[in-house]
Protein backbone atom coordinates (compact mmCIF):
# COMPACT_ATOMS: atom_id res chain seq x y z
CA UNK A 1 0.00 0.00 0.00
CA UNK A 2 1.31 3.43 -0.91
CA UNK A 3 1.52 6.10 1.79
CA UNK A 4 2.06 9.50 0.18
CA UNK A 5 4.00 11.36 2.84
CA UNK A 6 7.51 12.56 3.60
CA UNK A 7 9.98 12.26 0.75
CA UNK A 8 7.54 10.21 -1.33
CA UNK A 9 5.16 13.19 -1.49
CA UNK A 10 7.87 15.11 -3.38
CA UNK A 11 8.72 12.26 -5.72
CA UNK A 12 7.74 10.80 -9.07
CA UNK A 13 6.06 7.86 -7.38
CA UNK A 14 4.19 10.14 -4.99
CA UNK A 15 2.72 12.16 -7.87
CA UNK A 16 1.55 8.96 -9.57
CA UNK A 17 -0.05 7.75 -6.33
CA UNK A 18 -1.90 11.02 -5.80
CA UNK A 19 -3.15 11.00 -9.39
CA UNK A 20 -4.41 7.46 -9.03
CA UNK A 21 -6.22 8.35 -5.82
CA UNK A 22 -7.90 11.17 -7.77
CA UNK A 23 -8.99 8.70 -10.44
CA UNK A 24 -6.66 10.00 -13.15
CA UNK A 25 -4.58 7.94 -15.54
CA UNK A 26 -1.19 9.64 -15.91
CA UNK A 27 -0.12 9.85 -19.56
CA UNK A 28 3.47 10.36 -20.67
CA UNK A 29 5.24 11.00 -24.01
CA UNK A 30 8.62 9.66 -25.12
CA UNK A 31 10.08 12.92 -26.40
CA UNK A 32 13.71 14.00 -26.43
CA UNK A 33 15.36 16.86 -28.33
CA UNK A 34 19.04 17.77 -28.47
CA UNK A 35 18.44 21.53 -28.51
CA UNK A 36 17.86 22.74 -24.91
CA UNK A 37 15.28 25.32 -25.96
CA UNK A 38 13.28 22.77 -27.91
CA UNK A 39 13.57 20.25 -25.07
CA UNK A 40 12.22 22.83 -22.66
CA UNK A 41 9.37 23.63 -25.07
CA UNK A 42 8.52 19.93 -25.17
CA UNK A 43 8.34 19.75 -21.39
CA UNK A 44 6.17 22.86 -21.15
CA UNK A 45 3.83 21.61 -23.87
CA UNK A 46 3.49 18.28 -22.07
CA UNK A 47 2.77 20.09 -18.82
CA UNK A 48 0.14 22.26 -20.50
CA UNK A 49 -1.66 19.40 -22.27
CA UNK A 50 -5.29 18.73 -21.39
CA UNK A 51 -4.35 15.63 -19.44
CA UNK A 52 -2.66 14.52 -16.23
CA UNK A 53 0.93 14.25 -17.39
CA UNK A 54 4.53 13.72 -16.36
CA UNK A 55 7.47 14.95 -18.38
CA UNK A 56 10.06 12.97 -20.30
CA UNK A 57 13.63 13.65 -21.32
CA UNK A 58 14.67 10.87 -23.69
CA UNK A 59 18.40 10.64 -24.29
CA UNK A 60 20.14 10.31 -27.65
CA UNK A 61 21.83 7.20 -29.00
CA UNK A 62 25.40 8.45 -28.46
CA UNK A 63 24.74 9.17 -24.78
CA UNK A 64 23.00 5.84 -24.27
CA UNK A 65 26.10 3.98 -25.42
CA UNK A 66 28.64 6.21 -23.67
CA UNK A 67 29.90 8.02 -26.79
CA UNK A 68 29.78 11.42 -25.10
CA UNK A 69 32.60 12.81 -27.26
CA UNK A 70 30.54 12.10 -30.39
CA UNK A 71 27.50 13.78 -28.81
CA UNK A 72 29.58 16.89 -28.02
CA UNK A 73 31.01 16.93 -31.55
CA UNK A 74 27.48 16.76 -32.98
CA UNK A 75 26.38 19.66 -30.79
CA UNK A 76 29.40 21.70 -31.82
CA UNK A 77 28.65 21.11 -35.50
CA UNK A 78 24.93 21.85 -35.17
CA UNK A 79 23.82 18.30 -35.95
CA UNK A 80 20.43 17.43 -34.45
CA UNK A 81 20.48 14.24 -32.38
CA UNK A 82 17.65 11.80 -31.71
CA UNK A 83 17.42 12.78 -28.05
CA UNK A 84 18.82 15.00 -25.31
CA UNK A 85 22.59 14.52 -24.68
CA UNK A 86 22.48 15.07 -20.92
CA UNK A 87 26.20 14.32 -20.40
CA UNK A 88 27.36 16.54 -23.25
CA UNK A 89 25.29 19.48 -21.99
CA UNK A 90 26.59 21.07 -18.79
CA UNK A 91 24.54 20.90 -15.61
CA UNK A 92 23.56 24.57 -15.78
CA UNK A 93 22.03 24.04 -19.22
CA UNK A 94 19.92 21.09 -18.06
CA UNK A 95 18.84 22.96 -14.93
CA UNK A 96 17.70 25.82 -17.17
CA UNK A 97 15.68 23.37 -19.26
CA UNK A 98 13.91 22.19 -16.10
CA UNK A 99 13.51 25.56 -14.39
CA UNK A 100 9.85 26.50 -14.09
CA UNK A 101 8.77 23.23 -15.70
CA UNK A 102 9.62 20.40 -13.31
CA UNK A 103 8.02 20.48 -9.87
CA UNK A 104 5.73 18.63 -7.44
CA UNK A 105 2.81 18.70 -9.91
CA UNK A 106 4.97 17.90 -12.93
CA UNK A 107 7.79 15.43 -12.25
CA UNK A 108 10.18 14.56 -15.06
CA UNK A 109 11.64 11.15 -15.91
CA UNK A 110 14.81 10.48 -17.88
CA UNK A 111 14.54 7.64 -20.41
CA UNK A 112 17.62 6.23 -22.08
CA UNK A 113 18.48 2.63 -23.05
CA UNK A 114 21.96 2.16 -21.62
CA UNK A 115 23.73 -0.92 -20.23
CA UNK A 116 26.47 1.40 -18.93
CA UNK A 117 24.53 4.33 -17.43
CA UNK A 118 26.90 5.61 -14.74
CA UNK A 119 27.77 8.94 -16.38
CA UNK A 120 24.20 9.72 -17.34
CA UNK A 121 23.02 8.84 -13.81
CA UNK A 122 25.57 11.29 -12.43
CA UNK A 123 24.42 13.95 -14.90
CA UNK A 124 20.70 13.57 -14.19
CA UNK A 125 21.26 13.58 -10.43
CA UNK A 126 23.45 16.69 -10.65
CA UNK A 127 20.64 18.45 -12.53
CA UNK A 128 18.15 17.66 -9.75
CA UNK A 129 16.39 14.77 -11.50
CA UNK A 130 15.59 11.61 -9.55
CA UNK A 131 13.40 9.41 -11.77
CA UNK A 132 14.64 7.20 -14.59
CA UNK A 133 14.14 3.74 -16.03
CA UNK A 134 15.77 0.70 -17.57
CA UNK A 135 17.34 -2.32 -15.95
CA UNK A 136 20.35 -4.65 -16.07
CA UNK A 137 18.68 -7.04 -18.54
CA UNK A 138 16.12 -4.91 -20.33
CA UNK A 139 18.69 -2.25 -21.26
CA UNK A 140 21.33 -4.76 -22.27
CA UNK A 141 19.88 -7.59 -24.35
CA UNK A 142 17.76 -5.62 -26.82
CA UNK A 143 20.06 -2.63 -27.31
CA UNK A 144 23.69 -3.67 -27.11
CA UNK A 145 26.31 -6.36 -27.34
CA UNK A 146 27.70 -5.52 -23.90
CA UNK A 147 28.13 -8.65 -21.78
CA UNK A 148 25.16 -9.21 -19.48
CA UNK A 149 27.43 -9.61 -16.46
CA UNK A 150 28.99 -6.20 -17.16
CA UNK A 151 25.56 -4.59 -17.45
CA UNK A 152 24.47 -6.15 -14.17
CA UNK A 153 27.53 -4.77 -12.36
CA UNK A 154 26.97 -1.35 -13.91
CA UNK A 155 23.35 -1.30 -12.81
CA UNK A 156 24.24 -2.42 -9.29
CA UNK A 157 26.49 0.62 -8.90
CA UNK A 158 24.06 3.03 -10.53
CA UNK A 159 21.01 1.79 -8.62
CA UNK A 160 22.86 2.24 -5.33
CA UNK A 161 24.02 5.69 -6.46
CA UNK A 162 20.44 6.72 -7.23
CA UNK A 163 19.19 5.24 -3.96
CA UNK A 164 21.60 7.59 -2.15
CA UNK A 165 19.28 10.48 -3.08
CA UNK A 166 16.95 9.33 -0.32
CA UNK A 167 19.21 11.21 2.07
CA UNK A 168 18.40 14.49 0.29
CA UNK A 169 14.67 14.46 1.03
CA UNK A 170 13.35 12.90 -2.18
CA UNK A 171 12.38 9.33 -2.99
CA UNK A 172 14.20 8.28 -6.20
CA UNK A 173 12.21 6.21 -8.66
CA UNK A 174 13.24 3.45 -11.08
CA UNK A 175 11.01 1.90 -13.73
CA UNK A 176 11.83 -1.53 -15.10
CA UNK A 177 11.77 -1.78 -18.88
CA UNK A 178 11.47 -5.55 -18.48
CA UNK A 179 7.87 -5.66 -19.65
CA UNK A 180 8.91 -4.35 -23.07
CA UNK A 181 11.60 -6.84 -24.11
CA UNK A 182 12.02 -6.35 -27.86
CA UNK A 183 8.58 -4.76 -27.91
CA UNK A 184 6.72 -7.65 -29.57
CA UNK A 185 6.34 -11.41 -30.02
CA UNK A 186 7.37 -12.15 -26.42
CA UNK A 187 4.59 -14.01 -24.57
CA UNK A 188 3.30 -12.16 -21.49
CA UNK A 189 4.63 -14.48 -18.79
CA UNK A 190 8.26 -13.66 -19.63
CA UNK A 191 7.56 -9.93 -19.83
CA UNK A 192 5.93 -10.08 -16.40
CA UNK A 193 8.77 -12.13 -14.91
CA UNK A 194 11.42 -9.76 -16.25
CA UNK A 195 9.63 -6.68 -14.91
CA UNK A 196 9.18 -8.17 -11.44
CA UNK A 197 12.75 -9.53 -11.28
CA UNK A 198 14.29 -6.19 -12.25
CA UNK A 199 12.22 -4.37 -9.63
CA UNK A 200 13.33 -6.93 -7.04
CA UNK A 201 16.89 -6.18 -8.15
CA UNK A 202 16.26 -2.43 -7.68
CA UNK A 203 14.88 -3.05 -4.20
CA UNK A 204 17.88 -5.19 -3.27
CA UNK A 205 20.12 -2.24 -4.13
CA UNK A 206 18.24 0.34 -2.12
CA UNK A 207 15.37 1.66 -4.28
CA UNK A 208 12.01 1.95 -2.52
CA UNK A 209 9.87 3.41 -5.34
CA UNK A 210 9.49 1.41 -8.57
CA UNK A 211 7.21 0.93 -11.54
CA UNK A 212 6.61 -2.32 -13.38
CA UNK A 213 6.12 -2.09 -17.13
CA UNK A 214 4.03 -4.05 -19.58
CA UNK A 215 3.83 -3.37 -23.33
CA UNK A 216 0.49 -3.75 -25.09
CA UNK A 217 0.64 -6.88 -27.22
CA UNK A 218 -1.57 -8.59 -29.80
CA UNK A 219 -4.74 -9.55 -27.88
CA UNK A 220 -6.56 -7.25 -25.40
CA UNK A 221 -7.99 -10.10 -23.32
CA UNK A 222 -4.56 -11.68 -22.92
CA UNK A 223 -3.09 -8.27 -22.06
CA UNK A 224 -5.74 -7.68 -19.41
CA UNK A 225 -5.03 -11.02 -17.74
CA UNK A 226 -1.27 -10.33 -17.95
CA UNK A 227 -1.43 -6.92 -16.27
CA UNK A 228 -3.63 -8.23 -13.48
CA UNK A 229 -1.10 -11.05 -12.96
CA UNK A 230 1.71 -8.47 -12.89
CA UNK A 231 -0.11 -6.49 -10.20
CA UNK A 232 -0.71 -9.64 -8.16
CA UNK A 233 2.96 -10.58 -8.32
CA UNK A 234 4.02 -7.06 -7.35
CA UNK A 235 1.74 -7.24 -4.31
CA UNK A 236 3.21 -10.60 -3.35
CA UNK A 237 6.91 -10.03 -4.03
CA UNK A 238 7.33 -6.26 -3.56
CA UNK A 239 5.03 -5.53 -0.61
CA UNK A 240 7.49 -3.20 1.12
CA UNK A 241 8.03 -0.70 -1.72
CA UNK A 242 5.92 1.96 -3.40
CA UNK A 243 5.03 0.53 -6.81
CA UNK A 244 2.71 1.07 -9.73
CA UNK A 245 2.03 -0.43 -13.16
CA UNK A 246 2.92 1.45 -16.36
CA UNK A 247 1.44 0.32 -19.68
CA UNK A 248 3.19 1.05 -22.97
CA UNK A 249 1.20 1.60 -26.12
CA UNK A 250 2.21 -1.05 -28.64
CA UNK A 251 5.97 -1.08 -29.20
CA UNK A 252 6.11 -2.89 -32.54
CA UNK A 253 5.32 -1.95 -36.14
CA UNK A 254 2.71 0.79 -35.79
CA UNK A 255 -0.36 1.34 -37.98
CA UNK A 256 0.22 3.70 -40.91
CA UNK A 257 -3.26 5.22 -41.05
CA UNK A 258 -4.39 7.94 -38.67
CA UNK A 259 -7.48 6.01 -37.63
CA UNK A 260 -5.51 2.80 -37.10
CA UNK A 261 -2.81 4.46 -34.98
CA UNK A 262 -5.37 6.43 -32.98
CA UNK A 263 -7.56 3.43 -32.31
CA UNK A 264 -4.56 1.40 -31.14
CA UNK A 265 -3.67 4.17 -28.66
CA UNK A 266 -7.29 4.37 -27.49
CA UNK A 267 -7.25 0.62 -26.87
CA UNK A 268 -4.06 1.01 -24.82
CA UNK A 269 -5.71 3.71 -22.68
CA UNK A 270 -8.77 1.55 -22.14
CA UNK A 271 -6.54 -1.38 -21.21
CA UNK A 272 -4.75 0.73 -18.60
CA UNK A 273 -8.04 1.83 -17.02
CA UNK A 274 -9.59 -1.64 -17.05
CA UNK A 275 -6.60 -3.15 -15.27
CA UNK A 276 -6.06 -0.38 -12.73
CA UNK A 277 -2.70 0.67 -14.18
CA UNK A 278 -1.50 4.10 -13.08
CA UNK A 279 0.45 5.37 -16.08
CA UNK A 280 0.46 5.05 -19.87
CA UNK A 281 3.36 5.71 -22.25
CA UNK A 282 1.75 6.96 -25.45
CA UNK A 283 2.64 6.67 -29.11
CA UNK A 284 1.51 9.02 -31.83
CA UNK A 285 -0.12 8.83 -35.25
CA UNK A 286 3.25 9.83 -36.74
CA UNK A 287 5.18 6.75 -35.53
CA UNK A 288 5.18 5.01 -38.92
CA UNK A 289 6.17 8.11 -40.87
CA UNK A 290 8.52 10.48 -39.02
CA UNK A 291 9.95 11.33 -35.61
CA UNK A 292 6.93 12.70 -33.73
CA UNK A 293 6.83 16.45 -33.18
CA UNK A 294 5.85 18.17 -29.95
CA UNK A 295 2.38 18.75 -31.42
CA UNK A 296 2.09 15.06 -32.36
CA UNK A 297 2.88 14.10 -28.77
CA UNK A 298 0.45 16.56 -27.22
CA UNK A 299 -2.31 15.26 -29.49
CA UNK A 300 -1.55 11.70 -28.41
CA UNK A 301 -1.56 12.67 -24.73
CA UNK A 302 -4.94 14.36 -25.03
CA UNK A 303 -6.46 11.53 -27.07
CA UNK A 304 -5.32 8.96 -24.51
CA UNK A 305 -6.57 11.07 -21.59
CA UNK A 306 -9.99 11.49 -23.17
CA UNK A 307 -10.28 7.77 -23.89
CA UNK A 308 -9.26 6.94 -20.31
CA UNK A 309 -11.76 9.42 -18.85
CA UNK A 310 -14.57 7.88 -20.88
CA UNK A 311 -13.74 4.30 -19.88
CA UNK A 312 -15.79 3.00 -16.92
CA UNK A 313 -13.92 1.47 -14.00
CA UNK A 314 -15.05 -2.14 -13.85
CA UNK A 315 -14.19 -5.06 -11.54
CA UNK A 316 -11.22 -7.13 -12.67
CA UNK A 317 -11.96 -10.22 -14.73
CA UNK A 318 -11.44 -13.67 -13.20
CA UNK A 319 -10.16 -15.21 -16.43
CA UNK A 320 -7.09 -17.36 -15.81
CA UNK A 321 -5.36 -19.07 -18.70
CA UNK A 322 -2.20 -19.71 -16.69
CA UNK A 323 -0.22 -16.51 -17.26
CA UNK A 324 0.22 -15.83 -13.53
CA UNK A 325 1.37 -19.39 -12.78
CA UNK A 326 3.81 -19.38 -15.69
CA UNK A 327 5.32 -16.04 -14.67
CA UNK A 328 5.58 -17.14 -11.03
CA UNK A 329 7.36 -20.33 -12.11
CA UNK A 330 9.93 -18.31 -14.05
CA UNK A 331 10.50 -15.90 -11.15
CA UNK A 332 10.87 -18.71 -8.62
CA UNK A 333 13.32 -20.55 -10.87
CA UNK A 334 15.53 -17.46 -11.05
CA UNK A 335 15.39 -16.53 -7.37
CA UNK A 336 16.26 -20.13 -6.42
CA UNK A 337 19.66 -19.73 -8.10
CA UNK A 338 21.08 -17.14 -5.69
CA UNK A 339 20.03 -14.70 -2.99
CA UNK A 340 21.94 -12.08 -5.00
CA UNK A 341 19.53 -11.05 -7.77
CA UNK A 342 22.34 -9.94 -10.07
CA UNK A 343 24.04 -13.31 -9.86
CA UNK A 344 20.68 -15.05 -10.21
CA UNK A 345 19.82 -13.16 -13.40
CA UNK A 346 23.22 -13.91 -14.95
CA UNK A 347 22.92 -17.60 -14.07
CA UNK A 348 19.33 -17.76 -15.35
CA UNK A 349 20.36 -16.60 -18.82
CA UNK A 350 23.42 -18.83 -18.79
CA UNK A 351 21.24 -21.86 -17.99
CA UNK A 352 18.43 -20.82 -20.31
CA UNK A 353 15.88 -20.42 -17.51
CA UNK A 354 15.24 -17.01 -19.05
CA UNK A 355 15.43 -16.88 -22.84
CA UNK A 356 14.03 -14.03 -24.95
CA UNK A 357 12.56 -15.19 -28.28
CA UNK A 358 14.19 -13.74 -31.43
CA UNK A 359 16.82 -11.90 -29.33
CA UNK A 360 20.28 -12.16 -30.90
CA UNK A 361 22.39 -11.02 -27.92
CA UNK A 362 25.31 -13.43 -27.28
CA UNK A 363 24.22 -14.01 -23.67
CA UNK A 364 20.69 -15.04 -24.68
CA UNK A 365 20.34 -18.78 -25.40
CA UNK A 366 18.03 -18.11 -28.34
CA UNK A 367 16.23 -21.45 -28.12
CA UNK A 368 12.71 -20.14 -27.52
CA UNK A 369 10.13 -19.27 -30.14
CA UNK A 370 6.62 -17.85 -30.11
CA UNK A 371 3.68 -17.48 -32.48
CA UNK A 372 0.37 -15.64 -32.74
CA UNK A 373 -2.62 -18.00 -32.76
CA UNK A 374 -5.90 -17.55 -34.63
CA UNK A 375 -7.33 -15.47 -31.75
CA UNK A 376 -4.36 -13.12 -31.81
CA UNK A 377 -2.84 -14.46 -28.60
CA UNK A 378 0.92 -14.87 -28.16
CA UNK A 379 1.97 -18.42 -27.30
CA UNK A 380 5.15 -20.41 -26.86
CA UNK A 381 6.05 -22.86 -29.60
CA UNK A 382 9.47 -23.67 -28.14
CA UNK A 383 10.57 -22.99 -24.55
CA UNK A 384 14.18 -24.21 -24.64
CA UNK A 385 15.36 -24.75 -21.05
CA UNK A 386 12.80 -22.47 -19.44
CA UNK A 387 10.87 -24.33 -16.68
CA UNK A 388 7.54 -23.99 -18.48
CA UNK A 389 5.97 -25.81 -21.39
CA UNK A 390 4.85 -24.82 -24.86
CA UNK A 391 1.13 -24.29 -25.33
CA UNK A 392 -1.05 -27.33 -25.95
CA UNK A 393 -2.14 -25.66 -29.17
CA UNK A 394 1.42 -25.85 -30.51
CA UNK A 395 0.92 -29.19 -32.26
CA UNK A 396 3.49 -30.08 -34.84
CA UNK A 397 5.93 -27.41 -35.96
CA UNK A 398 4.82 -23.82 -35.54
CA UNK A 399 8.29 -22.31 -35.82
CA UNK A 400 7.98 -19.32 -38.09
CA UNK A 401 9.65 -19.03 -41.47
CA UNK A 402 11.25 -15.68 -42.32
CA UNK A 403 8.13 -14.68 -44.28
CA UNK A 404 5.84 -15.75 -41.44
CA UNK A 405 7.94 -13.80 -38.94
CA UNK A 406 7.57 -10.64 -41.00
CA UNK A 407 3.85 -11.27 -41.25
CA UNK A 408 3.62 -11.71 -37.48
CA UNK A 409 5.58 -8.52 -36.87
CA UNK A 410 3.00 -6.57 -38.90
CA UNK A 411 -0.02 -8.28 -37.32
CA UNK A 412 -1.07 -5.31 -35.21
CA UNK A 413 -0.40 -2.81 -37.99
CA UNK A 414 -2.64 -4.74 -40.38
CA UNK A 415 -5.34 -5.39 -37.77
CA UNK A 416 -5.80 -1.71 -36.97
CA UNK A 417 -5.22 -0.26 -40.43
CA UNK A 418 -7.79 -2.62 -41.92
CA UNK A 419 -10.44 -1.93 -39.27
CA UNK A 420 -13.28 0.42 -40.04
CA UNK A 421 -13.02 3.94 -38.68
CA UNK A 422 -14.70 4.20 -35.23
CA UNK A 423 -17.38 6.89 -35.28
CA UNK A 424 -15.96 9.01 -32.47
CA UNK A 425 -12.57 9.19 -34.17
CA UNK A 426 -14.19 10.95 -37.12
CA UNK A 427 -14.36 14.06 -34.93
CA UNK A 428 -10.68 15.05 -34.49
CA UNK A 429 -11.38 17.83 -31.98
CA UNK A 430 -13.46 15.67 -29.68
CA UNK A 431 -10.71 13.89 -27.67
CA UNK A 432 -8.81 17.07 -26.82
CA UNK A 433 -12.02 19.00 -26.19
CA UNK A 434 -13.38 16.36 -23.84
CA UNK A 435 -10.07 16.16 -21.96
CA UNK A 436 -9.98 19.94 -21.51
CA UNK A 437 -13.52 19.93 -20.14
CA UNK A 438 -12.54 17.32 -17.58
CA UNK A 439 -9.34 19.14 -16.61
CA UNK A 440 -11.12 22.47 -16.20
CA UNK A 441 -13.82 20.88 -14.08
CA UNK A 442 -11.32 19.76 -11.44
Domain range list for the chain = 1-442
Number of residues that make up the chain: 442
182: left (phi over 0), alpha (psi -120 to 50) or beta: left
Rounded to whole angstroms, the Cα distance separating 138 from 122 reads 20
235: left (phi over 0), alpha (psi -120 to 50) or beta: alpha
Query: For residues 304 and 269, is the Cβ–Cβ distance under 8 A?
Result: yes
Share of residues in the chain with pLDDT > 90 (%) = 73
Rounded to whole angstroms, the Cα distance separating 405 from 369 reads 11
Averaged over 362-382, what is the pLDDT?
93
Q: What angle do CA 284, 289, 293 make, to 5 degrees?
A: 50
- Whole-number Cα distances in Å, 236 to 200, 203, 279, 328, 389: 11, 14, 21, 10, 24
Class of domain 1-442 (CATH, top level): alpha beta
Rounded to whole angstroms, the Cα distance separating 29 from 48 reads 13
- Which has the minimum average pLDDT: 111-125, 202-216, 313-327, 409-423? 409-423
Confidence tier at 8 by pLDDT (50, 70, 90)? low
- Whole-number Cα distances in Å, 77 to 32, 64, 72, 80, 375: 19, 20, 9, 9, 51
- Which has the minimum average pLDDT: 10-14, 40-44, 357-361, 427-431? 427-431
- The pLDDT, as a whole number, for residue 414 is 80
Residue 203, SS3 per DSSP: helix
- The pLDDT, as a whole number, for residue 403 is 81
For 287-343, how does the pLDDT look when each residue is reduced to its tens digit (9 = 90+)?
A: 878 888 999 999 999 999 999 999 887 766 678 889 999 999 999 999 999 999 999
308: left (phi over 0), alpha (psi -120 to 50) or beta: alpha
Name the nearest CA neighbour of 110 among 100, 97, 393: 97
Question: What torsion do the CA atoms of 129, 134, 140, 143 make, to the nearest 10 degrees?
Answer: -90
pTM: 0.91
Q: Both ends of the chain: CA-CA distance in Å? A: 25
Averaged over 73-100, what is the pLDDT?
95
Amino acid sequence: MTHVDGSLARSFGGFIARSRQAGDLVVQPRIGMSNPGTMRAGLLATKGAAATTVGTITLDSYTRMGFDDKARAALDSGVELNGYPIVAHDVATTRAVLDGAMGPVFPVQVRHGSPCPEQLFKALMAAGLHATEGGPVSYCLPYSRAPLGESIRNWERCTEMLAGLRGTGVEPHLESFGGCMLGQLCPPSLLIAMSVLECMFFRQHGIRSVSLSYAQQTNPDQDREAILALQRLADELLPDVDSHIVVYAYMGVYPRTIHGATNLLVEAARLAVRTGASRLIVKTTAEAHWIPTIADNVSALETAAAAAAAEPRMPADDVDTGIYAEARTLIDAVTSLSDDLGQALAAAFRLGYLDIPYCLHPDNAGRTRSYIDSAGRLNWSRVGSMPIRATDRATGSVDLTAAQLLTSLSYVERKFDDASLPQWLAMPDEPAGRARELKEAK
